[in-house]
Amino acid sequence: MLLIYNNPAVIEAMSQDERTGLFAQVDEIMAELTASGELIRGEALSGAAKTVRLRGGVAATTDGPFVEAKEQFAGYLAVDVASEDRALEIAARWPDAAWGGMEVRQILG
């Protein structure tokens, strides 16, 4: 699983041409992964989030994953690849890796 982290303010600050180029890079990688059969699923996520924590039997709900964080969990790709190295290669090519972050985790089960 490739978890995509970015700062929405960075995208908002981009020109229309920069955003178009960013999404063209995403489309290119998605097409490649689809053609190779490595893509299982991928989705962008809303920036609106709530965190629920149960403490002492009482649920507390707060806005956002971490209010002080500028980066957010923006989406994911589930891929079926031959090795961890291939997953890391894909993550390094994803545009958000240049200004946000990509987390690579194995799906268990």
pLDDT in tens, 42-91: 999 888 888 888 899 999 888 876 656 678 889 999 999 999 999 999 99
Dihedral angle computed from the Cα positions of residues 47, 50, 53 and 57, in that order, rounded to the nearest 10 degrees: -170
Query: How much is the average pLDDT of 7-11?
Result: 90
> Which of 12-21, 85-94, 99-108 has the weakest average pLDDT?
99-108
User: What ranges in 1-109 are assigned the alpha helix state H?
Assistant: 8-13, 16-36, 84-93
- pLDDT for 53 equals 87
- pLDDT for 51 equals 82
